[in-house]
Amino acid sequence: MKIAIIGGGAIGLLFSYYLGQTHQVTLYTRTKGQADLINREGLTIVDGDKTVCQSIEVKQVEHWDGSDDITFITVKEHQLSSIISMINQQSKKIGSLFFLQNGMGHLKWLPETRAESIYLGSIEHGAARVKGHIASHNGHGVTRVAVYKGSDNLLRELLATTTSGFPFAFEQDYEEMLVKKLIVNLVINPLTAAFQVTNGTLLTNPFYYKVALQVFDEAAKVLNIHNKEEHWLNVLSVCKQTSTNRSSMLKDIEAGRKTEVDAILGYLLEESRAKQISVPVIRNYFNLIKGKEFQRGGD
Q: Which is nearer to a second copy, 135 or 239 (CB)?
A: 239
Site residues (CB under 8 A) for a second copy, limited to 156-195: 194-195
Site residues (CB under 8 A) for a second copy, limited to 217-236: 218
Least Å distance, CB 216 to a second copy, is 13
Q: Which is nearer to a second copy, 146 or 282 (CB)?
A: 282
Q: Does 25 bind a second copy (CB under 8 A)?
A: no
- Taking the mean position of all CA atoms in its chain, how far away is CA 292? 21
Q: Which of 205, 234, 241, 243 binds a second copy (CB under 8 A)?
A: 205
Q: Cα dist. 147→72, 86, 150, 155, 174 in Å?
A: 14, 22, 7, 8, 7
Q: Cα dist. 50→45, 46, 205 in Å?
A: 8, 6, 34
Query: Among residues 76, 180, 181, 292, which one is catalytic?
Result: 181
Separation between Cα atoms, residue 5 and residue 107, nearest integer Å: 19
Q: Cα dist. 293→19, 180, 285 in Å?
A: 34, 26, 12
Q: Which of 201, 234, 241, 243 binds a second copy (CB under 8 A)?
A: 201
Q: By CB under 8 A, which span of 35-43, 72-80, 199-207, 265-273 interacts with a second copy?
A: 199-207
DSSP string, 33-79: HHHHHHHHH-EEEEETTEEEEE--EEEEGGG--S-SSEEEE-S-GGG
Separation between Cα atoms, residue 19 and residue 182, nearest integer Å: 25
Q: Does 294 bind a second copy (CB under 8 A)?
A: yes
Q: Which is nearer to a second copy, 168 or 195 (CB)?
A: 195
Least Å distance, CB 213 to a second copy, is 10
DSSP state of 257: -
Which positions from 249 to 288 touch a second copy by CB under 8 A, shown as an x/- string? -------------------------------xx-xx--xx
Residues linked to residue 54 through DSSP beta bridges, in sequence order: 43
Helix (H, G, I), strand (E, B) or coil at 103: coil
Q: Is 181 a catalytic residue?
A: yes
Asked if residue 208 lies in contact with residue 195, where contact means CB atoms within 8 angstroms, the answer is yes
Q: Does 214 bind a second copy (CB under 8 A)?
A: yes
Least Å distance, CB 30 to a second copy, is 27
Q: Which of 211, 220, 236, 277 binds a second copy (CB under 8 A)?
A: 211
DSSP state of 215: H
Residues that bind a second copy (CB under 8 A): 194-195, 197, 201, 205-208, 210-211, 214, 218, 280-281, 283-284, 287-288, 290-292, 294-295
Which residues have a catalytic role annotated?
181
